[in-house]
């Protein structure tokens, strides 16, 4: 069940697309949305976001009693416990959790026929709002941040990503611990509860510190690995989630990175060489997608997941041109890039999925964005032209120079072929005269190499 309040500062498109995005986010978690409860209001209600009447309506739909009672929530906490148990929660070693029956025949017209597993709210909830909503609905409640953290938690694969997500998750859960005592604490009775809570909070703090240390170690290892790749020329694909970065990566590198029509299909950076390989080769990084209202702790985790990519000399900013909210997605991506210190890296807009646009829409966009590349990642000839243009980006920095390479130093000539473009070779008495185009640093490197040999 999705819940959102249409506040006066959001226009209709923003409101619906945000809600649709939330729907896609929960579907990434494996939930099917059965209904959306929305309300026009000037502000969010302090107690439980929705007004009293709407809250009652929501309770009817979810099988809860629809108000923020004062009694200790007994039954309702099971949902939370179960979720935490499923998610491998760190605080509840109480494995003895009742699993409530699941029932699929939910009356969309709002009859009280079945329970829902999750109420996802498209606003940031305070711990007490979340708590109150859980009481009123009898279901587990997550806000957008909680949903996103949960996705990362379930899907992060690399050691580094998992550490970062765990830190974000604990930081998110810690304040919520205060107002929602876990089963373990309740068993200990009232007085003990307080002490146990203190203990739990301290445990969380210690654990966060521990994880941060581990993270530093993992990152040190990666720095070493990265420095081996440093000479390579690199570009990074960045952009909003589901824009088509991985699809483009696959097509450009002939690799089989994961592509899926779901949000946050990619959570780790992968690096592959452009294929067929130009000389010198160019590395392409595929990165995690951005999303609006990205939880702050995850921004930090994005930063480090993205660090590698940000060492790229050029960013291809991939945009889903067929998404009605592409403009705000573009703005969000730029903001986050700015925030993680990548605002200055040169970038090119790649308007993707143009196969989904009507010809006149495409024409209008071309006029608006004269410098952007317009492509479909599914069209091989578009991909080929992206490849050529990527090579072009690097060759644009080339300068031309002439070298004399003695006959006993022909190995240097073959190295030169590997790191730039040899445009002419003339065999003379004292060696091969080579007209060479490459990056200025590369030219300088060969100069000093040949000087030294003399
Ligand atoms: N029609 C069309 N669909 C595309 C195109 N490029 C990608 N898609 C589809 O868009 C969906 C998302 O593609 P991905 O490549 O996984 O997107 P991503 O940017 O890597 O997404 P995240 O990893 O979730 O951030 C998939 O269903 C793709 O098949 C395109 O040019 N045209
Ligand atoms: Mg991807």
Q: Using a 6 Å cutoff on CB, does residue 64 contact ligand 1? A: no
Residues 6+ away with beta carbon under 8 Å from 199? none
| Ligand 1, atom 27, residue with closest C-alpha | 261
Q: Name the most confidently modeled range: 169-173, 250-254, 351-355.
A: 351-355
Q: Are 91 and 174 in contact (CB under 8 A)?
A: no
Tell me the CA–centroid distance for residue 11 and ligand 2, in Å.
29
Average the pLDDT over 412-441 and give the result.
92
Q: Residue 219: what pLDDT?
A: 80
Residue 280 in tokens: 């010198």
Cα 299–Cα 50–Cα 264 angle in degrees, nearest 5: 30
153-163 pLDDT, tens digit per residue, is 888 777 888 88
| Ligand 1, atom 3, residue with closest C-alpha | 353
Q: Are 3 and 134 in contact (CB under 8 A)?
A: no
Q: Which atom of ligand 1 is nearest to the CA of 247?
A: 15
| Ligand 1, atom 14, residue with closest C-alpha | 244
Q: Residue 164: what pLDDT?
A: 84
Does 299 or 392 have the greater pLDDT score? 392
Tell me the CA–centroid distance for residue 358 and ligand 2, in Å.
25
Determine which of 26-35, 322-331, 332-341, 370-379 has the lowest per-residue pLDDT on average. 332-341
Ligand at shortest distance from the CA of 380: 1
Q: Is the pLDDT of residue 261 over 90?
A: no
pLDDT band at 270 (very low <50, low <70, confident <90, very high): confident
Q: Residue 434: what pLDDT?
A: 95
Where are the domains positioned within the chain? Answer: 2-155, 156-229, 230-395, 399-453
Q: Residue 107: what pLDDT?
A: 35
On the question of a common fold for 2-155 and 399-453, the answer reads no
Question: C-alpha 294: how far from its chain's center?
Answer: 9
Which one of 28, 148, 242 would you pick to mutate in the ligand 1 pocket, going by the greatest count of ligand atoms within 8 A of its CB?
A: 242
Q: Residue 89: what pLDDT?
A: 37
Q: Residue 359: what pLDDT?
A: 97
Q: Using a 6 Å cutoff on CB, does residue 265 contact ligand 1? A: yes
CATH number (3.40.50.11060, 3.40.50.300, 2.160.10.10, 3.40.710.10) of 2-155 reads 3.40.50.11060
Does 317 or 73 have the greater pLDDT score? 317
Q: Residue 76: what pLDDT?
A: 44
Distances (CA, A) of 321 to 262, 318, 337: 17, 9, 19
Tell me the CA–centroid distance for residue 303 and ligand 1, in Å.
22
pLDDT band at 400 (very low <50, low <70, confident <90, very high): very high
Distances (CA, A) of 206 to 168, 211, 214, 243, 245: 14, 9, 12, 38, 37
Q: What is the DSSP string of 375-423?
A: --TT-HHHHHHHHHHHHHHHHTT-EEEEEEE-GGGHHHHHHHHHHSEEE
CA–CA distance, 330 with 35 (Å, rounded to integer): 29
Mean pLDDT computed over every residue of the chain: 83
Q: Using a 6 Å cutoff on CB, does residue 355 contact ligand 1? A: yes
Other C-beta atoms lying within 10 Å of the C-beta of residue 68: 19
Q: Using a 6 Å cutoff on CB, does residue 377 contact ligand 1? A: yes
Q: Residues at the annotated binding site for GTP?
A: 239-246, 264-268, 286-289, 352-355, 376-378
Torsion angle (degrees, nearest 10) of CA 252, 257, 258, 264: -80
Q: Which atom of ligand 1 is nearest to the CA of 352?
A: 31
Determine which of 30-34, 262-266, 412-416 has the lowest per-residue pLDDT on average. 262-266
Q: Using a 6 Å cutoff on CB, does residue 329 contact ligand 1? A: no
Tell me the CA–centroid distance for residue 287 and ligand 1, in Å.
13
Q: Residue 100: what pLDDT?
A: 32
Which one of 377, 380, 382 would you pick to mutate in the ligand 1 pocket, going by the greatest count of ligand atoms within 8 A of its CB?
A: 377
Q: Name the most confidently modeled range: 89-98, 253-262, 281-290, 363-372.
A: 363-372
Q: What percent of the chain has pLDDT over 70?
A: 83
Nearest one of 27, 9, 5 to 241, comparing CA atoms: 27
Average the pLDDT over 245-269 and give the result.
86
pLDDT band at 83 (very low <50, low <70, confident <90, very high): low
Determine which of 33-42, 174-183, 222-231, 385-394 has the lowest per-residue pLDDT on average. 174-183
pLDDT band at 211 (very low <50, low <70, confident <90, very high): very high
Q: Is the pLDDT of residue 443 over 70?
A: yes
Tell me the CA–centroid distance for residue 28 and ligand 1, in Å.
14
Question: Please, what's the largest Cα pairwise distance for the chain?
Answer: 98
Q: Name the most confidently modeled range: 175-189, 210-224, 265-279, 429-443.
A: 429-443
Which one of 27, 237, 244 would you pick to mutate in the ligand 1 pocket, going by the greatest count of ligand atoms within 8 A of its CB?
A: 244
Tell me the CA–centroid distance for residue 154 and ligand 1, in Å.
21
Fold of the domain built from segment(s) 399-453 = Alpha-Beta Plaits (3.30.70)
Alpha-helical runs (H) found in 281-409: 296-310, 326-339, 359-368, 380-395
Tell me the CA–centroid distance for residue 243 and ligand 1, in Å.
5
Protein residues placing their CB within 5 Å of the ion ligand 2 = 246, 265-266
Average the pLDDT over 56-81 and give the result.
68
Q: Which atom of ligand 1 is nearest to the CA of 261?
A: 27
Determine which of 102-116, 248-262, 403-417, 423-437 has the lowest per-residue pLDDT on average. 102-116
Q: Are 236 and 316 in contact (CB under 8 A)?
A: yes
Q: Residue 354: what pLDDT?
A: 98
Q: Using a 6 Å cutoff on CB, does residue 2 contact ligand 1? A: no
Burial 31-45 (b: 16+ CB within 10 A, else e): bebbbbbbbeeeebb
Distances (CA, A) of 177 to 128, 194, 210, 294, 435: 11, 11, 19, 22, 69
84-111 pLDDT, tens digit per residue, is 445 443 333 333 333 333 333 343 444 4
CATH number (2.60.120.10, 3.40.50.300, 3.60.15.10, 3.100.10.20) of 230-395 reads 3.40.50.300
323-363 pLDDT, tens digit per residue, is 999 999 999 999 989 988 888 899 999 999 999 999 999 99
| Ligand 1, atom 8, residue with closest C-alpha | 244
Phi, psi of 126 (to 5 degrees): -75, 160
CA–CA distance, 8 with 11 (Å, rounded to integer): 8
- Look up the ipTM and state it: 0.99
Q: Residue 453: what pLDDT?
A: 62
pLDDT band at 226 (very low <50, low <70, confident <90, very high): low
Q: Which atom of ligand 1 is nearest to the CA of 375?
A: 31
Q: Using a 6 Å cutoff on CB, does residue 259 contact ligand 1? A: yes
């Amino acid at each position: 069940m999705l819940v959102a309040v249409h506040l006066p500062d959001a226009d209709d498109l923003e409101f619906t697309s945000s809600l649709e995005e939330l729907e896609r986010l929960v579907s990434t978690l494996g939930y099917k949305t059965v209904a959306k409860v929305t309300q026009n209001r000037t502000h969010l209600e302090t107690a439980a976001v929705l007004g009293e009447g709407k809250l009652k309506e929501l309770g009817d739909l979810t099988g809860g009693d629809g108000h923020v009672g004062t009694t200790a929530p007994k039954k309702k906490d099971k949902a939370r416990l179960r979720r935490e148990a499923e998610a491998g929660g760190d605080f509840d070693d109480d494995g003895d959790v009742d699993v409530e029956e699941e029932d699929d025949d939910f009356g969309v017209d709002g009859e009280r026929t079945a329970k829902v597993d999750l109420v996802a709210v498209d606003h940031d909830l305070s711990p007490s709002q979340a708590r109150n909503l859980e009481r009123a609905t009898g279901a587990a409640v997550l806000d957008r941040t909680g949903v996103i953290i949960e996705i990362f938690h379930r899907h992060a694969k690399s050691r580094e990503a998992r550490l970062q997500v765990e830190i974000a998750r604990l930081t998110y859960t810690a304040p919520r611990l205060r107002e929602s005592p876990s089963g373990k604490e309740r068993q200990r009775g009232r007085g003990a509860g307080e002490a146990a809570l203190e203990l739990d909070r301290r445990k969380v703090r210690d654990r966060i510190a521990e994880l941060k240390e581990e993270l530093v170690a993992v990152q040190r290892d990666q720095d070493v690995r990265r420095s081996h790749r440093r000479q390579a020329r690199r570009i990074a694909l960045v952009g909003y989630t589901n824009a088509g970065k991985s699809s483009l990566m696959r097509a450009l590198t002939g690799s089989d990175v994961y592509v899926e029509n779901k949000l946050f299909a990619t959570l780790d950076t992968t690096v592959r060489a452009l294929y067929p390989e130009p000389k010198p080769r160019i590395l392409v990084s595929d990165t995690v997608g951005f999303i609006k209202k990205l939880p702050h702790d995850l921004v930090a985790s994005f930063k480090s997941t993205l660090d590698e990519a940000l060492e790229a000399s050029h960013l291809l900013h991939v945009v889903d041109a067929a998404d009605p909210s592409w403009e705000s997605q573009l703005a969000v991506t730029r903001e986050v890039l700015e925030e993680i210190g990548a605002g200055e890296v040169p970038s090119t807009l790649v308007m993707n999925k143009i196969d989904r646009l009507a010809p006149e829409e495409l024409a209008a966009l071309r006029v608006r964005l004269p410098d952007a590349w317009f492509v479909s990642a599914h069209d091989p000839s578009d991909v080929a032209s992206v490849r050529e243009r990527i090579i072009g980006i690097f060759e644009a920095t080339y300068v031309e120079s002439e070298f004399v390479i003695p006959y006993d130093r022909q190995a240097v000539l073959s190295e030169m072929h590997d790191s730039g473009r040899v445009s002419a070779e003339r065999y003379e008495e004292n060696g091969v005269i080579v007209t060479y185009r490459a990056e200025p640093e590369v030219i300088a490197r060969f100069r000093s190499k040949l000087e030294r040999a003399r």
